[in-house]
Amino acid sequence: MSDDPRRPLRSRPRRNRKSPAVRDLCRETTLTVGNLVYPVFLHEADGDEPLSSLPGRTRYGLDGLVREATRVSALGIRSIVLFPAVPEDQKTSDGREAANPDGLVPRALRRLRAECPELTLITDVALDPYNSDGHDGIVADDGRILNDETVEVLCRQAVTQARAGADIIAPSDMMDGRVGAIRDALDADGHHEVSILSYTAKYASAFYGPFRGALDSAPKSGDKKTYQMDPGNAREALRELALDEAEGADMVMVKPAGPYLDVIRALRESTPLPVAAYQVSGEYLMIKAAAASGWLDERSVALESLLGIRRAGAEVIFTYFAPEVAEWLA
Ligand code: PBG
């Protein structure tokens, strides 16, 4: 058409890009702070400790946690998820500290509930911070991860968190049947209003490295491939989705996010439930490192990476950039 000198160019897509206002009218996907969940690390110590494995982020004592929650809430962040670094002497092979009503996470929940009542509080359900073997489940003598025995502890962990004030329980352990079992346990304890955000398609990913450094929670032996998904698989995510829907999940997650945009899209097209995605520590760190070297512009690349995750179909994004994004978008 454009080669033909007698026919003018009728379709000019650039007309829809001609000014900021027109581009605003035509934009298909937007990123708002309401889409974001901010992951926060806490520890037993009183003070706060900048994380060398996750530059820009900090491990907080309880006072520091409340201060940080108050700070980000004022920036417009509405939801946070808590990750505890548990002292070595509290870790056991059965991870029982996970269900201690006076443990670090329940104490943090009670303080946040009282001092930041406007925040939606999300908690992680898995044994790795509490397990002396560093696995998300209980490890048998022969190295197998025991599924059903683990689910029993996860149910007690979830009920403990709900009693302490969690709004949303997020099982990240990848044991079979845990969503239904946790739903039953929550309901039996009267927590019908507490939601379950399931890590539906959580991959055995090398991008979790900096997170495990932040919590000292790397597996002592073996890897997580018998419970986390194979990075080559996308159809399998739909099988996990069907199970989680049937078991009563309220939201479903894909993790990591950036390298798995096709999986986010597949879930988005297959379920009416809200889809979440976790931009994990390694994804954050790649952008941070490139920005620190002067190779990439942190703000534009971080915002573009998050917009891409939204465009793929995620409503909810867990990201360590959340406080910065709140400032950038303000
Ligand atoms: C473990 C858990 C992990 C992350 C969140 N929950 C690590 C793992 O599965 O080994 C990773 C988050 C990140 O890398 O930012 N239950």
Task: Tell me the pLDDT tens digit for each residue of 213-227.
Answer: 888 889 998 899 999
Confidence (pLDDT) at 8: 84
**Known catalytic residue at 255:** yes
**Ligand 1 binding pocket, CB closer than 6 Å:** 124, 126, 128, 136, 172, 208, 211-212, 224, 280-281
Indicate which atom in ligand 1 lies nearest the CA of residue 126. Answer: 16
| Rg of the chain in Å (alpha carbons) | 21
203 in a structural domain: yes
pLDDT, averaged across the chain? 96
Residue 1 domain flag: no
Are 68 and 326 contacting, i.e. CB atoms less than 8 angstroms apart? Answer: no
Q: Is residue 108 part of a domain?
A: yes
Residue 211 Cα to ligand 1 middle (Å): 6
- 81 Cα: distance to centroid of ligand 1 (angstroms): 12
Does a structural domain hold residue 26?
A: no
CATH number reported for the structural domain that contains residue 171 in this entry: 3.20.20.70
First to last CA, the chain: 44
Structural domains counted in the chain = 1
Instruction: Give nearest CA residue, ligand 1 atom 6.
Output: 172
Would residue 3 count as lying in a domain?
no
What are 271-284's pLDDT values in tens digits? 999 999 999 999 99
pLDDT tens digits for 175-194? Answer: 999 999 999 999 999 999 99
Centre of ligand 1 from the C-alpha of residue 27, in Å: 33
pTM, two decimal places: 0.96
Nearest CA to ligand 1 atom 10: 208
Look at residue 120 and tell me if it is in a domain: yes
Q: Is 254 part of a structural domain of the chain?
A: yes
Does 226 map to a domain? yes
For residue 74, give its domain range: 31-329
Residues, the chain: 330
* Cβ atoms 211, 280 nearer than 8 A: yes
58-60 and 49-50: which strand pairing? antiparallel
* Average confidence (pLDDT) per 10 residues, the chain, 330 residues: 72 97 98 98 96 95 98 98 96 96 98 98 97 94 95 98 98 97 98 98 96 88 94 98 98 98 98 98 97 98 98 98 97
Catalytic site includes residue 224? no
